[in-house]
Amino acid sequence: MKPNLFKYLWSYINDVHIESMSSDYNETMHVLLSKGRYQLCTPNAIYSFADKYDNFTETFERLNMDDASIRDVLILGFGLGSIPYMLENKFEKQYNYTGVEIDDTVIYLASKYVLDDLKSEVQMIQADAWNYVQQIETRFDLICIDIFVDDKIPELFLTEEFLENTVSNLCEGGILLFNHLGRHDADTQAAMNYHDQIFNKVFPNSIPLKVGDNYMLINDKNHLK
């Protein structure tokens, strides 16, 4: 959905509140128009912000995207679709996306504000990401894990078992990105502990990449430029 011109221009001066909703998984979510982009946020976290979702934008800028054979992309925790938006509009990449999102209200908002404006093919699936990766046999060239409830990653998705399940969905030589907070010292310590104790066991050539207030865990440091 394209915003009207006045709201679009005003959003470069002040954020414009578009609507607020609640769901079984998020007590409060706000859709804002900020710097001409739709933003989805909770009181403590930003779920989506188009190509201004800097943790993924900065990561893609540092990856060998042109060298990777990427066609099919799996997004666990879809939000408003920042990842396909930025890959299409900023990086001029057009892939086939499967978006897995447990919250039907988030899917509704993504469909209302973003999906119709994308040229890329996007298949949305309302499902728990844990169950989804256990049940499917499809393999993907790029897997992006961006699963938060407010500003917390549910413990279930921080287990070695979850990572092992995602490995079975990743093509040989594929890229896996796992978004973690790194805003405060406690966030940084938690991300590093997770990387060293669990993530690196599953992906021995992995690397934690500091991007803004987040850490992006990358399955293979050879994917970096």
Total domains in the chain come to 1
Q: Is 14 within the bounds of a domain?
A: no
- In 3D, which of 202, 214, 145, 203 has the Cα closest to residue 178? 145
Interatomic CA distance for residues 160 and 72, integer angstroms: 24
Interatomic CA distance for residues 63 and 67, integer angstroms: 9
**Block residue for tokens 């001029």:** 92
Q: Is 180 within the bounds of a domain?
A: yes
Interatomic CA distance for residues 178 and 219, integer angstroms: 9
Q: Is 69 within the bounds of a domain?
A: yes
Residue 66 has pLDDT above 80, yes or no: no
Q: Which domain holds residue 73?
A: 50-223
Looking at the DSSP bridge assignments, the partners of residue 63 are 224
Residue 130 DSSP SS3: helix
Residue 68 has pLDDT above 90, yes or no: no
- In 3D, which of 87, 85, 82 has the Cα closest to residue 40? 82
Q: Are 144 and 217 in contact (CB under 8 A)?
A: no
pLDDT value, residue 69: 87
Interatomic CA distance for residues 214 and 102, integer angstroms: 23
Q: Is 19 within the bounds of a domain?
A: no
- Domain of 68, CATH number, reads 3.40.50.150
Per residue in 83-125, pLDDT tens? 999 999 999 999 999 999 999 999 999 999 999 999 999 999 9
Q: Is 179 within the bounds of a domain?
A: yes
Angle at 20 between CA 17 and CA 22, to 5 degrees: 165
Residue 221 DSSP SS3: helix
pLDDT value, residue 212: 85
pLDDT value, residue 65: 82
**Block residue for tokens 């699963």:** 147
Q: Is 9 within the bounds of a domain?
A: no
Q: Is 41 within the bounds of a domain?
A: no
The whole-chain average pLDDT of the chain stands at 94
Q: Is 190 within the bounds of a domain?
A: yes
